Amino acid sequence: MAERIIYMDNAASTRLDERVLEAMRPYYLTTYAVATSEFGHSMGIEAKETLEAAKVGIAKGLGAGVEEIVLTSGDTESSNFALKGVTMAQAKKGKHIIVSKIEDFPVLNSAKALERTGLQVTYLPVDGHGFVDLGELEKAITRETVLVSIHHANQEIGTMQDIEAIGKICHERGTLFHTDCTHTFTRVPIDMGKLPVDLATITAHTIHGPKGIGALYVRKGTPISKWMDGGFQENNLRAGLENIPGAVGFAKAIELVTAEENERIRAIRDALIAKLLDAVPQTVLNGHRTKRIPQNANITFHRVEGESITLHLDMRGVEVSTGSACFSRSLEASHVIMGIGGNHERAHGSIRYSLGRFNDISEVDSVVEAMSDIVTRLRSISPLKE
């Protein structure tokens, strides 16, 4: 067993920051009541005030108004809500939506589910770096188009889309724009005061916040139908008991991310990419070199299979993820690597390193050494020739 764990799978989920846990604790143990109106009991009133304050903090992270934040159980629910809620509300206006081919599963599979109910879906292709072609987007929008959903940054290869330009096109052509910010929120500046974005998915668990809480930003006046039925919580847009400790933790997690931290993470990531590409031959960086989120690196090691790499790394205490078919539950190769024009072999040998607050520059050399060693070993037993 490895003595020290080097965790580089922060895009999947992160370690909770202890300060976040401390902030949440009273709302499990002391002020645990349901949020009530100002005519309710005192613990309920306090709960309500706490919830409002937390939502102010969450809204601030986006440069949004507090009334534009709908709390959810996380990014999956937020994206489901955006796609299903908006198409439901605009059923009379049109029956067409557009998503990119390389969206994460909440958006992609919501689109597929809507397709089965009779909606038309355009899956926009992307180029070799993962960028959506703006001209293609413009051509794809019709009078029937009610929503375009293109992520801010990709979950696997980290490529950042130009959401300002995409939103502008959507608005000029009279359609709404949703963007999944799961991997950009707090890691890159997002200001809804300036961006032409109508809906945005954010979540806490990727930024050292608690699991089970996220939000959908809904710009004021955006038509959206309630999708989760029950009580009248969240301005009657999302039923269900409010997750007050979660909201408090989310707000705290947002407060704790600083620009300095993001730069520190970027420096570790840059060193990791440079050293890996230098130390291991026959590699290729997936995604754009500079237009990518600071915490992501994704590299294909040709002629080796990713699950074998991750298992070897795991035995040395390094935790990463791969786009190999053998690693996924569905046994399907990464739709992202295939989507950027990659092939089975490129997906097969792709490794994603995603960083967070608890990574340190001193980990880079250990990872590079382990990778170099593992890849050399696996290549030596491969029947594929150079």
Catalytic residue positions?
Answer: 326
Report in angstroms how near the CB of residue 99 gets to other proteins at its nearest: 25
Residue 19 touches other proteins, criterion: CB under 8 A: no
- Answer for which of 279, 345, 358, 373 binds other proteins (CB under 8 A) is 345
Q: Which stretch binds other proteins (CB under 8 A): 88-96, 135-143, 285-293, 309-317?
A: 309-317
Question: Do residues 83 and 108 lie in contact, with contact meaning Cβ atoms separated by under 8 Å?
Answer: no
- Answer for which of 107, 304, 318, 336 binds other proteins (CB under 8 A) is 304
Q: Which stretch binds other proteins (CB under 8 A): 175-183, 237-245, 304-312, 357-365?
A: 304-312
Q: Which stretch binds other proteins (CB under 8 A): 22-30, 43-51, 207-215, 375-383?
A: 375-383
DSSP-assigned beta bridge partners for residue 283: 301
Which 3 state secondary structure label does DSSP give 319? strand
CB under 8 Å to 333, separation ≥6 — which residues?
A: 323, 324, 325, 344, 347, 348
Q: Which stretch binds other proteins (CB under 8 A): 102-110, 155-163, 232-240, 308-316?
A: 308-316
Question: Do residues 110 and 84 lie in contact, with contact meaning Cβ atoms separated by under 8 Å?
Answer: yes
Question: Do residues 216 and 78 lie in contact, with contact meaning Cβ atoms separated by under 8 Å?
Answer: yes
CB under 8 Å to 66, separation ≥6 — which residues?
A: 52, 55, 56, 59
Residue 314 touches other proteins, criterion: CB under 8 A: yes
- Answer for which of 308, 321, 334, 350 binds other proteins (CB under 8 A) is 308
Report in angstroms how near the CB of residue 276 gets to other proteins at its nearest: 20
Residue 2 touches other proteins, criterion: CB under 8 A: yes
Residue 383 touches other proteins, criterion: CB under 8 A: yes
Question: Do residues 305 and 349 lie in contact, with contact meaning Cβ atoms separated by under 8 Å?
Answer: yes
Report in angstroms how near the CB of residue 344 gets to other proteins at its nearest: 4
Q: How far apart are the first and last CA of the chain?
A: 34
Report in angstroms how near the CB of residue 320 gets to other proteins at its nearest: 15
Residue 331 touches other proteins, criterion: CB under 8 A: yes
Residue 305 touches other proteins, criterion: CB under 8 A: yes
Please state, in angstroms and rounded to a whole number, the distance separating the CA atoms of residues 117 and 140: 21
Q: Which CB atom, from 259 or from 381, has the smaller least distance to other proteins?
A: 381
For CA atoms 41, 47, 51, 57, the dihedral sign is: positive
Residue 307 touches other proteins, criterion: CB under 8 A: yes
Pattern of binders to other proteins over 252-291, x per CB under 8 A? ----------------------------------------
Q: Which of 158, 384, 371 is nearest to 281 (CA)?
A: 371
Q: Which of 311, 321, 326 is nearest to 374 (CA)?
A: 311
Q: Which of 102, 60, 44 is nearest to 254 (CA)?
A: 60
Q: Which CB atom, from 256 or from 284, has the smaller least distance to other proteins?
A: 284
- Answer for which of 25, 139, 194, 344 binds other proteins (CB under 8 A) is 344
Report in angstroms how near the CB of residue 297 gets to other proteins at its nearest: 22
Q: Which of 110, 107, 205 is nearest to 149 (CA)?
A: 107
For 265-299, the DSSP string reads HHHHHHHHHHHHHHHSSSEEE-S-SSSB-TTEEEE
> Site residues (CB under 8 A) for other proteins?
1-2, 303-305, 307-308, 311-312, 314-315, 324-327, 329, 331, 333, 343-345, 348, 380-385
